[in-house]
A and B are shown apart, each in its own frame.
Chain A
Amino acid sequence: MTDDLNDLKNAMESATPAPDGARKAANLALAQKNFAALQGSADQTRPTSSRPTRGLWTGVRQMLNTFTGRAALTASTAIVAVGFVILTPLGNDLVPNTVAKRPVQSPQETFTAEADMALEEAEITLLPAPAPAAPDVLQPKRSAAQSSTALGSVAMNDSMAIAPQTEPAPSRELDTESFANEPSNPIRIVSEDPVSTFSIDVDTASYAVVRNSLMNGLMPPKDAVRVEEMVNYFTYDYTAPDGDAAFRPSVSVSQTPWNQNTQLVHIGLQGAVPSIAERPPLNLVFLIDTSGSMDQPNKLPLLKQSFRLMLAQLRPEDEVAIVTYAGSAGQVLDPTPAAERSKIMAALDNLDAGGSTAGQEGLQQAYATAAAMTEEGDVTRVLLATDGDFNVGLSDPDALTDFIAEKRDSGTYLSVLGFGRGNLDDATMQALAQNGNGQAAYIDTLSEAQKVLVDQLTGALFPIANDVKIQVEFNPTQIAEYRLIGYETRALRREDFNNDKIDAGDIGSGHQVTALYEVTPVGSPAQLTDPLRYGSTDSAEPISDELGFLRLRYKAPGASESQLIETPISTDLSPNTGGDFAAAIAGFGQLLRDAPYLGNWGYEDAIALANETKGEDPFGYRSAAVQLMRLASSLSEQP
């Protein structure tokens, strides 16, 4: 080691404070507790399902993770209190004493003394065999000395860190999930605000997160529930578009299940399904997070299994490349034709979680690879697989989304697949996918991987219409109030509708999008607002008996100018059965969010309605939803 470094090292030694005694005791106790809990559950390696019987570990973690877990709070209070009694007296005595004994000391002396001591100690601990019991006594002394020389501010921290005695923070770091959401859309009054504008959303991540929570015996965080994503998780029986049209809107009006005096306007978009055989060659760049946090059975291993499933669906002329971002950042697999499946599989199998992370670097490399792979007529997409915890390196998140938006304009799309729970940064995932013209999906089980990556492969990977915006104008002579259910995070300003520069959601081939409005007809007893006494009534000539007018804007892939589709929402539309199931799911989502407006309508009603309307349900997705409603119903009854 050079002299330079020795100086640094000495300086660093004296800057390093001692661990806080109370925290140490609490941390050790936490480790013990987790250790004990883990012994009960040997089977951790097969993440085929997130069933609640997964074992004690999940339970304990969930318990510790959740702020609402009263039991956990009590338990950790006990742990901290016990630790405090055992350890702090020593620490407490030592700190003030040493400070008093060594009021002023030349820094140089301190350095050498500290460094030597630390060096000896380091050696002692490094030698495996004869490590004596002495460090137990030595270490607190050294620590105290160090903190006294080091800094006043740390001493302050010390006293603050002891505070857990009275107010413990239960394992707060374990759960850093964040979700993107807004408060539920309020009632709008048609005479004041007749136009509602939003971007479509084909994401389904929210439903999977909700399912994962319920399956683990917990109500999902309210912000994790985005009603439109739950509704869009299911497919409905919409009419397919004719001829060359990219998609076709269908509108129906039906009775609102939770309010007999209002109606539900159900807007469905069905994307065209181009024949699979005619699809252009596909270039896929898997950008895989292999950082240390991915080293969990429901992350990297599940990801490998998922991608293996998808590989089987690719055609020989498609190309796959793999880029990882972690300490071992870089291209793991050069662009390889999908025909060479064993080579791709081998590259996947060799992925190992560990090391540091450089998200932005990885992303840049993935895009560079994608650009190199693209030939005329190809569809190129980067599939980012992460636990959501996306490192943006040294630059800020805005710069990252700008970067993605720029690449989107150059024709490379980005989809985000989330794995695992615990530090799922849903907000970032959403932001990335929305900016990358892609889909954000959350994969918690192999069957979800099957749905997202296999059944919907074409939809997720082949865009048929970009920047799809919906604008509904309600007729004030017919409708008094309206409320858009869900799409809170997708709201657009009225003027943005005609502005082609404003980005919006995209539809892939075969995708469906469903939006529901709850509308209150004029004169209905369900009207929540009183008419204005001095309101302008002069324009109230009934021009038409339409409920409203639907406008859609979209761009053909690659085009910069949008096209307009318009259709009136008339009263004589008949409801379809698929629509009613959507209403059941929308009601379920609102119950999970504790949204107002549902009155006494509860889980039992949602279950009854869903059962009644689930129809053929060939894949069992709808029955599974009913199952979730039952779970939520029983969970919500618990105190």
Chain B
Amino acid sequence: MKTSDNDLARAAADGDAAAFASLLERQYDRLFRLAFRLTGTQADAEDLTQDICAALPSKLRSYRADAAVSTWLYRLCVNAAHDRRRKQATHARAASKWGEWEVDRRAGNAERAEEVDWLIAAMRNLPDDLRDTLALILDDITHRDAADILGVSEGTVSWRISEAKKHLKRIRAGGDLI
């Protein structure tokens, strides 16, 4: 029998270091996965996860028991990604990261699936808000939770997903990705 994440979070918020450790241990890989999808490179994802880890202890104080820990953490992650992106002065740098990746890919990774190539390049071309929303939905978050995490309405999430799909379709139709 294991303690629920919410209980762990509550205990951690009250200063229980062991609870904090095991909560983070449980959630780390999920956080990293989302971080990767939000940033687009492993290095950035590691850094973003580091940001979150560093700030988590103080953020935990604002954790309210009424939200699921996973949802709350995802929101933290999305916000941290935004903060990072803003720090990177312009969108250009983030985009160029995806660009480097694309170059790497072209350098030849024969075994990598074509679909993956396409997706990575396509994600690069999405506007930030669409990419964030899509990253959450692709991570099995429901539209309602995604709306909660992003601080927008559920309708907006659905709209963004359909926009993102349109974008992707257009990119696919356009053929050339760069």
Contacts and interface: CB of A to CB of B under 8 A. Distances in A.
**Which of B17, B32, B114 has the most chain A CB atoms inside 10 A of its CB?**
B32
Interface string A1-38: 10011011111101111111001101110111011111
Nearest to B108: A152
**Which of A34, A35, A37 has the most chain B CB atoms inside 10 A of its CB?**
A35
B24 A125 contact: no
Given A7-B115, A28-B25, A126 B70 contact: yes
| Interface SS, A side | helix
Interface string A164-180: 00000001111010000
Contacts of B104: 151-153
A32 B23 CA distance: 11
B29 interface: yes
A305 interface: no
B107 to A, nearest CB: 8
A135 interface: yes
Contacts of A135: 26, 29
B28 interface: yes
Given A130-B1, A355-B151, A293 B83 contact: yes
A161 B46 CA distance: 9
Contact of B51 (A125, A174, A357, A394): A174
Interface in B158-172: 161, 165, 168
Contacts of A111: 113, 115
Contact of A129 (B2, B118, B137, B140): B2
Given A14-B113, A150-B112, A31 B82 contact: no
Contacts of A150: 112, 116
B96 interface: no
A107 B115 contact: yes
Given A161-B43, A174-B54, A391 B24 contact: no
Given A8-B138, A119-B140, A153-B105, A161 B113 contact: no
A34 B54 CA distance: 6
A30 B2 CA distance: 25
Nearest to A15: B116
Nearest to A24: B28
Contacts of A637: none
A391 B82 contact: yes
Given A27-B49, A151-B104, A389 B83 contact: yes
A559 interface: no
Range, interface on chain B: 35 or more
Contacts of A502: none
B89 to A, nearest CB: 7
**Which of A12, A23, A110, A132 has the most chain B CB atoms inside 10 A of its CB?**
A12
Contacts of A4: 165
B18 to A, nearest CB: 10
B177 interface: no
A529 interface: no
A125 to B, nearest CB: 6
Given A30-B50, A34-B57, A356-B150, A423 B79 contact: no
Contacts of B42: 17, 20, 154, 157-158, 161
B79 A354 contact: yes
A57 to B, nearest CB: 7
Contacts of B91: 393-394
A151 B118 CA distance: 13
Given A30-B53, A171-B54, A354-B79, A153 B101 contact: yes
A327 B54 contact: no
B65 interface: no
Contacts of A35: 12, 17, 20, 56-57, 60
Contact of B5 (A34, A64, A128): A128
A39 B14 CA distance: 9
Contacts of A110: 113
A392 B129 contact: no
Contacts of A390: 86
A172 B28 CA distance: 19
Contact of B83 (A1, A23, A423): A423
Contacts of B30: 122, 125
B147 to A, nearest CB: 10
A132 B134 CA distance: 29
Nearest to B34: A16
A293 B127 CA distance: 21
A234 to B, nearest CB: 33
Range, interface on chain A: 35 or more
Contacts of A293: 79, 83
Contact of B17 (A32, A176, A356): A32
Nearest to A122: B140
A372 interface: no
A571 interface: no
A131 interface: yes
Interface in B32-55: 32-33, 36-37, 41-43, 45-51, 53-55
A12 B86 contact: no
Nearest to A176: B87
A356 B32 contact: no
A31 B50 CA distance: 8
Interface string A28-57: 101110111111000010000000000001
A261 interface: no
Nearest to A45: B61
Nearest to A1: B137
Nearest to B35: A19
A39 B20 CA distance: 12
A277 interface: no
A356 B49 contact: no
Contact of B92 (A23, A126, A128, A396): A396
Nearest to B60: A35
Nearest to B40: A15
Contact of A391 (B56, B79, B86): B86
A36 B21 CA distance: 11
Nearest to A139: B29
Interface string A600-628: 00000000000000000000000000000
A129 B4 contact: yes
A423 B2 CA distance: 39
Given A104-B111, A291-B79, A391-B86, A356 B132 contact: yes
Contacts of B46: 19-20, 23, 27, 161
A431 to B, nearest CB: 12
**Which of B54, B59, B134 has the most chain A CB atoms inside 10 A of its CB?**
B54
A397 interface: yes
Given A19-B32, A30-B50, A291-B83, 9 more contacts: A16-B36, A24-B32, A27-B54, A32-B17, A34-B56, A36-B17, A111-B115, A125-B26, A161-B43
19 contacts: A4-B165, A20-B46, A57-B58, A107-B115, A149-B113, A161-B43, A173-B84, A174-B51, A176-B87, A291-B79, A291-B82, A292-B82, A355-B151, A356-B82, A356-B128, A357-B86, A394-B127, A396-B90, A396-B92
Interface of B: 1-2, 4-6, 12, 15, 17, 20-21, 24-30, 32-33, 36-37, 41-43, 45-51, 53-62, 68, 70, 75-76, 78-80, 82-87, 89-92, 101, 104-105, 109, 111-116, 118-120, 127-129, 132, 134-135, 137-140, 150-152, 161, 165, 168
Identify the 4 closest CB pairs spanning chains A and B, nearest first. A292-B79, A107-B113, A128-B4, A355-B151
